[in-house]
Structure 1
Amino acid sequence: METELLRIFNEEHEPIGVATRAEIHEKGYWHETFHYWLMEKEKGIDYIFLQLRSPKKKDYPHLLDITAAGHLLANETVEDGIREVKEEIGLTVHMEELISLGILKYSVKMEPLLDNELAHVFLHRKNVPFDSFVLQEEEVAGIYRMKFKDFSALWRDETEHIPMQGFEVENGERYFYVKFVGKEQFVPHDQSFYQALINKIQQELK
C-alpha cells in the first residue's frame, strides 16, 4: 500500500507529478482523496454515520472517521473512488445517488505523518439498517450513527460529549453499544474541516 502511486498537486490543485503514498505522507505533498458521508432520516431526525477504524490501522487506530474514504490512485478518476464504499463497509452505491459537496482542503501534521489532502466530498442520503453493513475488518472495526445536530454541536464547541449508537465486530461477532464521545474519539482532522463539512451538509438539508 505504501508503494501505491498517487498524483500530487500544488495548493492551487494543479498537478505536478506522481509519488508513492509513503513519500507523499513523508514530504507532505497535496494529493486527492474520496470521502463518502452517509446520512439518514428517522422520525424527522437526521443522523450521520461514522466508521470506527480498526485497532490494527497504522494511522489513527480505533478512532471515529468518515463513513468511508480512500486515496485516489494516479490512474483513477474521482468516480473510481466510490469503490472504497463497497470495500470498507460493504454497501453498493452509485455516483448518481451521491450529492457532491465539492473539494475540502485540509492538513493533518502528526510526526512523522504529514497529510495534505484535497478531498472530493460526497453526501449520500439513504436509510440503511445496521445489518446491511459488511465490514472490511482489517480496516473498519465498527459503524456508529449519531444525530447530525449533536455532531454539529460538538464541532462548534457547543457541547463536549455526544451520544452515538452502533456496532463493533469482535472475533467475528457483532456487539451493539451506546456510547458518549468527545472530539478525542475522532480522527484529528482540523476543526475547520469538520465545520466546513457541517456547513455544506446543512445547505443540502434545507
Structure 2
Amino acid sequence: MESELLRIFNEDHQPIGVATRAEIHEKGYWHETFHYWLMEKKQGIDYIFLQLRSPKKKDYPQLLDITAAGHLLANETVEDGIREVKEEIGLSVHMEELKSLGILKYSVKMDPLLDNELAHVFLHQKNVPFDSFVLQEEEVAGIYRIKFTDFSALWRDQKEYIPMQGFEVENGEKNFFEKSVGKEQFVPHDQSFYAALINKIQQELK
C-alpha cells in the first residue's frame, strides 16, 4: 500500500507529478482523496454515520472517521473512488445517488506523518440499517451514528461530549454499544475541516 502511486499537486490543485504514498506522507505533498459521508433521517432527526478505524491501522487506529474514504490512485478518476464504500463498509452505491459537496483542503501533521489532502467530498442521504454494513475488518472495526445536531455542536465547541450508537465487530460478530465521545475520539482533522463540512451539509439539508 505504501508503494501505491498517487498524483501530487501544488496548493492551487495543479498537478505536478506522481509519487508513492509513503513519499507523499513523508514530504507532505498535496494529493487527492475520496470522502463518502452517509446520513439518514429518522422521525425527523438527521443522523450522520462514522466508521471506527481498525486497531490494525497504521494511522489513527480506533478513532472515529469519515463513513468511508480512500486515496485516489494515479490512474483513477474521482468517480473511481466510490469503490472505497463497497470495500470498507460493504454498501453498494452509485455516483448518481451522491451529492457533491466540492473539494475540501486540509492538513494533518502528526510526526512523522504530513498529510495534505484535496478531498472530493460526497454526501449520501439514505436510511441504512446497521445490518446492511459488512466491514473490511482490517480497515474498519465498527460503525456508529450520531445526531447531526450533536456532531455540529461538538465541532462548534457548543458541547464537550456527545452520545452515539452503533456496533463493533469482534471475531466476526457485531456487538452493539451506546457511548459518549469527545473530540479526542475522532481522527484529528483540523477543526476548520469539520466546520466547513458541517456548513456544506447544512446547506444540503435546508
TM-score range (shorter-chain normalised) is over 0.9
| Structure 1 segment 71-150 matched on structure 2, within 5 A | 71-150=71-150
* CA displacement at 1:70 relative to structure 2: 0.0
1:199: which partner in 2?
199
The TM-score with structure 2 as length reference comes to 1.00
- Is residue 52 of structure 2 the alignment partner of residue 52 of structure 1? yes
- CA–CA separation in structure 1 for the residues paired with 2:39 and 2:171: 28
CA distances 1:115-136 after superposition (whole Å, capped 9, x unpaired): 0000000000000000000000
- CA–CA separation in structure 2 for the residues paired with 1:98 and 1:10: 27
SS of residue matched to 2:87: helix
- Is residue 167 of structure 2 the alignment partner of residue 162 of structure 1? no
* CA displacement at 1:171 relative to structure 2: 1.2
Aligned amino acid, residue 203 of structure 2: Q
* CA displacement at 1:178 relative to structure 2: 0.2
- CA–CA separation in structure 2 for the residues paired with 1:175 and 1:80: 32
SS of residue matched to 2:100: strand
| Structure 1 segment 51-70 matched on structure 2, within 5 A | 51-70=51-70
Aligned amino acid, residue 123 of structure 2: L
- CA–CA separation in structure 1 for the residues paired with 2:102 and 2:73: 19
CA distances 1:40-81 after superposition (whole Å, capped 9, x unpaired): 000000000000000010000000000000000000000000
1:31: which partner in 2?
31
Structure 2 gap ranges (5+) = none
- CA–CA separation in structure 1 for the residues paired with 2:110 and 2:185: 16
Structure 1 gap ranges (5+) = none
- CA–CA separation in structure 2 for the residues paired with 1:25 and 1:88: 21
Aligned amino acid, residue 173 of structure 2: E
Aligned amino acid, residue 142 of structure 1: G
* CA displacement at 1:172 relative to structure 2: 1.1
- CA–CA separation in structure 1 for the residues paired with 2:110 and 2:174: 32
- CA–CA separation in structure 2 for the residues paired with 1:200 and 1:174: 32
1:177: which partner in 2?
177
SS of residue matched to 2:55: coil
CA distances 1:125-157 after superposition (whole Å, capped 9, x unpaired): 000000000000000000000000000000000
* CA displacement at 1:184 relative to structure 2: 0.1
SS of residue matched to 1:193: helix
- CA–CA separation in structure 2 for the residues paired with 1:87 and 1:9: 26
The TM-score with structure 1 as length reference comes to 1.00
1:186: which partner in 2?
186
Aligned amino acid, residue 3 of structure 2: T
- CA–CA separation in structure 1 for the residues paired with 2:205 and 2:9: 32
1:43: which partner in 2?
43
